Structure 1
């Protein structure tokens, strides 16, 4: 099956959107890393379940 120009443009558009979202997420992670995220606190409930 040979993709049409429209198919290729759609795929490029999808990759462009995904790339933008990944860059945005990377920026958020870099900001969080600079702030030195606090460690997770472990909370024990009476029934023994552990939740972060």
Structure 2
């Protein structure tokens, strides 16, 4: 919240960040409680490559 206030005091009107929605510490809930809203979602696919 301190950095958001500092940004506002510096004249900024918007702030953005990225978050891992599967974060076990509940990062998404923390950011939403600060007023952030999801505007875009990304999906990352992974496939392990097994060596013979």
Q: TM-score, normalised by structure 2?
A: 0.22
Q: Which structure shows the higher helix fraction? A: 1
Between the two structures, name the one with larger relative contact order (CA 8 Å, sep ≥ 6).
2
More strand per residue: 1 or 2?
A: 1
Q: Higher Cα Rg: structure 1 or 2?
A: 1
